[in-house]
Amino acid sequence: MPRAQDPTQSLLRWGIEHAEPGALAAAAEEIKSGKRPDLSTDMLKAIMGTSDADRMKECLMVIQGKWVDRDGNGQVRDSDQVTQEDKYRAWDDLEMVSFCSSFSFYHRKS
């Protein structure tokens, strides 16, 4: 895609043009010095979602009865608290993630 038509370039250009003078340099320094805990890998995961590989690992852990975080609250459960319903849902999710991953891989190759 030509540079003039790339929407990410347009968005970046707009952000720089409309930023307060010196604000970007100050923010960059805060990030480098570690003073911006709000910009972490957890924040990126919240924005972008987890990778297919991470979701597959989570599904396998649930199937093995090691832990579960199905409600999205970050609660870790002991193996005796993982229900059959949790395991069934994990199998279903694993099947869906692996199918979608393989479909997108083969679709890109052709």
Structural domain boundaries in the chain: 3-42, 50-109
* The pLDDT value given to residue 37: 67
Question: 3-class DSSP state for residue 78?
Answer: coil
| Averaged pLDDT of the chain | 76
If pLDDT is split at 50, 70 and 90, which confidence band does 57 have? confident
* The pLDDT value given to residue 107: 54
Rounded to whole angstroms, the Cα distance separating 24 from 93 reads 41
Q: What is the rounded average pLDDT of the residues 93-109?
A: 73
* The pLDDT value given to residue 88: 92
Phi, psi of 44 (to 5 degrees): -60, -40
Task: Check whether 77 has a pLDDT greater than 80.
Answer: no
- pTM for the complete prediction? 0.49
Rounded to whole angstroms, the Cα distance separating 108 from 47 reads 25
